[in-house]
Amino acid sequence: MHMNRRKSLLLLLPLLVCLAFPHAAGAFSPPEDLSGHHVLSNGLDVRLMPDPATPLVAALVLVKTGYATENTSNSGYTHLLEHLVFAGTDGRSKEQITREIEDLGGYLNGFTRDDYAGYLVVGHRDHLSSLLEILSDMLFHSILEEESIAEAREVVLEEIRQQRSRPGLRGSEVFQSLLYRGSSYARTGLGNLKTVAEVSRNALATYYRRTYRPDNMILLMAGGLSPDETLEIIDRTFGDEDTGGEEIPVLPAPPLAGQRVYTVKSDAPGVRVMVGFTGPDPRSGDAESLELLGAVLGGSGGILDRALEDAGLRPRSVSAYLAINRGFSRFVCSAAFPDNSDPNGALQVMLRAIKGAAEAGLPPARINETREALVSGEIMGREKLHYHLMEKAQWAVSGAPGQGFSPGRWDHLSAQDIDRVALRYLVDTPFAALFVMPGTENGRWDGGGGAISRAKSTLDNGLTVIAEQRPGSEVFALHLMTRRRGSMEPEGMSGIADFLHRMLTMGTFDRTKDDIEAELRALGVSLSTAGNPTVPFGDFYTSLTYSYIRAECVRDRAKKMVELLADLVRNPSFPEERMEETRSMVRDYIAYRDTSPGKAASAALSDRLYRGVLPADVLGTVESINAITREDLSTFHGRYLSGRNIILSVVSGLEPQQSIELMESYFSQLPPGEGLGDPELTETADSEVITLTLGKAQGALTAGMVGPEVEPGDLPALAIASGLLNDRLSRELREREGLAYSVGGFIGGAYGRSVFRLSMGTAQDKIDSARQSVRREIEALKGAEVTREDLDRRINALTGRLQMRMMSSINRAFYLALAEKEGLSHTFGEDYRTRLLALEPDEVERAIRRYLPGKNLVEVVVR
């Protein structure tokens, strides 16, 4: 052991910081929460956040070298190294790293930001020593082989091309360059094609040795860990690594000058207005005040949203936040509007609203309710260990020790504090504003703790309620899932279910949209009624077979949240003016879908596979959305959000019967609705190739089939088969052949039949090769032997991912509802793991041969 290497800061740092930085307006503030903060003698900065309620542990290592560390000659090296760290060490090959993590049921990933590269590992606390040893080996002993560099180079080049095919990229790039002009932060990430294509091993190795060293790293850990035991493990796995290299200086972006407004055209629909102001050093006491101010100004029902609404501008979304970096920050306000909106008018309204509120004094009640909502969000966010660490990463790199971690960091702030920072940083100060307008782009811009109890009940109206208790949990999570979706939409009205869900928060017969937003804020409720297809993973839970509502709050506000949610579900009023806003927004989402290679390919494949039994996409078409009337919505609402079509699942600290009684008291009044039968999908008979032309730099390929009737007992084997297929596709197409940045497929069931789908993004000149390789790998898997080792590895990988997803109560509620909807005999928890462990290799082999496609494969190519 090397415990003498560790120097605890628990007593010393508060004194030093207080002496060096006395608290005053704008002065550096003392750390807020130094518990669990340690530094090894080799300089590794460690932050431990124990949570005994879960058996999982997440560790995130931050290498304090990011995009901003680079210059024009090595742009992209940081991101390329992020890939290469996974490619093999002195003692482990790439395959061994992957296999060891999966054998432990762990999850491993990496990402790069402006100020750091992050390496994340999640797994059971029993495997913590092994997981950290693997992570340490990767970080300090990567060998950077020429072959690995060539493979990673192709992957990164594809990633760059894919990013450039993303609708709306131009506006984001331009705003970044304006916000951080005169600094390395003005460059967008990933790098450029030239430097990545021409990088040498020697240059990468030199950059690696300079930056990947313990005194240039921070280790954040959260979950079911014992601090003393964990420190010993960290000391053993990281403590022997030597310091070295040199500090790579990164200059802060200079303060903004003047009040400058720019306009740029983008291929994304809608109008966006973005404005950025110079903020303080993140270590300043003003940083927390601006965090709170951002929450008061932004969001639905916030001060900016209300001001824009009052001006008749109908914003679709409004945000305000403090963006922090090492040594400086920017305060950003952003709003999205329908086409033909007046961006200059919107900017002036936003500026006047900020000035008027600051000079008149922000309402203390509003500040208090916003503070409560932020604290609720922090409490709920801690359940999602890995996301919580990722959210805290920038504070760990940019803030004072312990700053940004405590949910109580806004407690001491008064309304006068918030008024002061608004006046100091946002009123009559320099800013950079950008109007992003729809149009043709002209080139690129240069410049688990206790035992779980569960109960299920069917109400008199046919509605199913499932309730699960998480002992000690402060979170109340409620998930609504419909049993049917696309098959219930009337002919000519595809997308009406999505339209209905988006209208639920627009007003009821007892509450206006503003009332709903104010109540959600006051209760600190996180609510989602539909996905956002324009942001990464924004439509992760979107499906053609069900729709959802996700709501969560702290437990002591559960009754009020349920009462509000029941009103939204039972009594939507569908105001005509809000219908037109929603219609315009959905049309923009459709335009985005139809210009995004992957999404356009997916919709075309669904259209051909399901042949009208299900719609091609949840959004519908421009024609179907234009045709929907208020009467149509009201009629569909009565049929759709009815007892027999709804599953309510609750996960909370309450006893299950309490939760069921609460649901019954508010949802038993829903009409029962009609009986539901399964739609009948038709088995795909012939192969077919469909070609779409979008003219993007990045192409897309999707393939699929509707297969034979699936036996329910085969579904666990199909889940393993999907994992084996993805292993082959990733290894062969992505890594060895460099044909794709992303590729994935699955074999599952829908309405009694098997369904196979695969999607990948690739360069235009690689599409034909990709098609051939996909068919080759499918046939290879059908003929391959599945070993016991293969099976165990995939079981650990699958259950490990599910455990991660179900860290949060709301995701656990989702999986409970999904199991009920599909009529499964398990709930995706330990019972599912037991079922998977009972599988034999020959069962998986039989499922692969029976359900993988042969010649009856439908392919969609987007060029």
d(CA 269, CA 276): 22
Distance (Å, rounded) from C-alpha 113 to C-alpha 64? 10
Q: pLDDT for 559-610, tens place per residue?
A: 999 999 999 999 999 999 999 999 999 999 999 999 999 999 999 999 999 9
Structure tokens at 195: 């430097």
Rounded CA separation 79/75 (Å): 9
pLDDT at 721: 95
Distance (Å, whole) CA 84 – CA 211: 14
Provide CB contacts within 8 A for 688, sequence distance 6+: 608, 858, 859
CA distance 757 to 747: 7
**Whole-number Å distance between alpha carbons of 600 and 700:** 9
CA 355 vs CA 25, 330, 608: distances in Å: 20, 18, 54
Residue showing tokens 């390919």: 601
Q: Answer yes or no: are the C-beta atoms of 8 and 48 closer than 8 Å.
A: no
Residue 442 has pLDDT above 50, yes or no: no
pLDDT in the model for residue 11:
28
Instruction: Summarize pLDDT for 202-256 with one digit per residue, the tens.
Output: 999 999 999 999 999 999 999 999 999 999 999 999 999 988 766 677 889 999 9
482 φ, ψ to 5°? Answer: -90, 150
Q: Are 756 and 853 in contact (CB under 8 A)?
A: yes
Q: What is the pTM of this model?
A: 0.80
What is the pLDDT confidence band of residue 401, given thresholds at 50, 70 and 90?
confident
Residue 447 has pLDDT above 50, yes or no: no
Write out the H or E segment, with its range, that includes residue 232. helix 227-238
pLDDT digits (tens, 9 = 90+) for 616-657: 999 999 999 999 999 999 999 999 999 999 999 999 999 999
Strands 431-438 and 259-266: parallel
**787 near 794, Cβ under 8 Å?**
no
Structure tokens given for 678? 């399964």
Give the residue, 32 or 112, on which the prediction is more confident.
112
Q: What is the distance between the alpha carbons of residues 504 and 523, in angstroms, rounded to a whole number? A: 18
- Which residue blocks in 253-405 are alpha helix, DSSP H? 286-297, 303-310, 343-360, 364-381, 385-398
Per-residue pLDDT of 672-719, as tens digits, reads: 998 778 889 999 999 999 999 998 878 899 999 999 999 888 999 999
Contacts of 590 (CB under 8 A, 6+ apart): 619, 620, 621, 622, 625
Higher pLDDT, 232 or 170: 232
pLDDT in tens, 800-828: 888 888 889 999 999 999 999 998 888 88
- Strand (E) or helix (H) holding 783: helix 767-783
| Structure token digits, residue 788 | 């016991």
| Gap between the Cα atoms of 233 and 40, Å rounded | 12
> How far apart are the C-alpha atoms of 775 and 781, rounded to whole Å?
10
Residue type present at position 397: V
Q: Annotate 740-757 with b (16+ C-beta within 10 A) or e (fewer).
A: bbbbebbbbbbbebbbbb
| DSSP E strand stretches across 729-785 | 742-750, 753-763
Q: Does the structure show a pLDDT above 90 at 25?
A: no
Burial of 290: CB neighbours in 10 Å, binned 0-12, 13-18, 19+: buried
Burial class (CB in 10 A: 0-12, 13-18, 19+), 1: exposed
Q: What is the mean pLDDT of residues 156-177?
A: 80
Query: Which H or E run includes 317?
Result: strand 317-325
Closest by CA to 282, choosing from 180, 402, 190, is 402
Residues 145, 147, 153, 155: is their CA dihedral positive or negative? negative
- pLDDT the model gives residue 33: 52
Close Cβ partners of 834 (under 8 Å, ≥ 6 residues apart): none
Pull the structure tokens for residue 620: 């519908």
Biggest CA pair distance of the chain: 77
Span 162-174, average pLDDT: 77
Say how far apart CA 68 and CA 116 lie, in whole Å: 9
Regarding predicted confidence, which is higher, 765 or 666? 666
Q: Which of 126-135, 171-180, 544-553, 625-634 has the lowest mean pLDDT?
A: 171-180
Beta carbons of 505 and 305 less than 8 angstroms apart = no
The two structure tokens encoding residue 256: 């903004």
Predicted confidence band of residue 399 (pLDDT cuts 50, 70, 90): confident
- Position 128 scores a pLDDT of 97
* Whether the Cβ atoms of residue 164 and residue 263 lie closer than 8 Å to each other: no
Rg of the Cα atoms in the chain? 27
Alpha-carbon gap, residue 611 to 605, rounded angstroms: 10
More confident residue, 97 or 74: 97
Compute the CA torsion angle 159, 161, 162, 164 (nearest 10 deg).
120
Q: Can you give the pLDDT at residue 7?
A: 37
N- to C-terminal Cα distance for the chain?
58
643 with 432: CB under 8 angstroms?
no
Rounded to an integer, what is the distance from CA 366 to the centroid of its chain?
Answer: 28
- Give the pLDDT band (50/70/90) at residue 18: very low
Q: What is the pLDDT of residues 723-744, one digit of tens each?
A: 999 999 998 998 888 888 789 9
| Region at 524 (left for phi over 0; alpha for psi -120 to 50; beta for the rest) | left
CA gap 146, 141 in Å, rounded: 15
The CA distance from 30 to 213, in Å, is: 28
**Spatial distance between the Cα atoms of 333 and 431, rounded to a whole number of angstroms:** 11
* Dihedral angle computed from the Cα positions of residues 223, 226, 228 and 230, in that order, rounded to the nearest 10 degrees: -50
3-state helix, strand, coil in the chain (%, to 5): 45, 20, 35
Neighbours of 490 (CB within 10 A): 13
Indicate if the pLDDT at residue 22 is higher than 50: no
Query: What is the CB-side half-sphere exposure of residue 242 using CA atoms within 13 A?
Result: 5
Is the pLDDT score of 506 beyond 50?
Answer: yes
As a whole number, the mean pLDDT across the chain is 89
Average pLDDT over residues 80-91: 94
Helix axes 830-837, 715-728, angle to 10 degrees: 80
**Mean pLDDT on 24-28:** 36
The predicted-structure confidence for 529-572, as pLDDT tens digits, reads as follows 999 988 878 888 899 999 999 999 999 999 999 999 999 999 99
Contacts of 478 by beta carbon, 8 Å cutoff, 6+ apart: 549, 550, 551, 552, 561, 562, 565, 648, 649, 650, 813
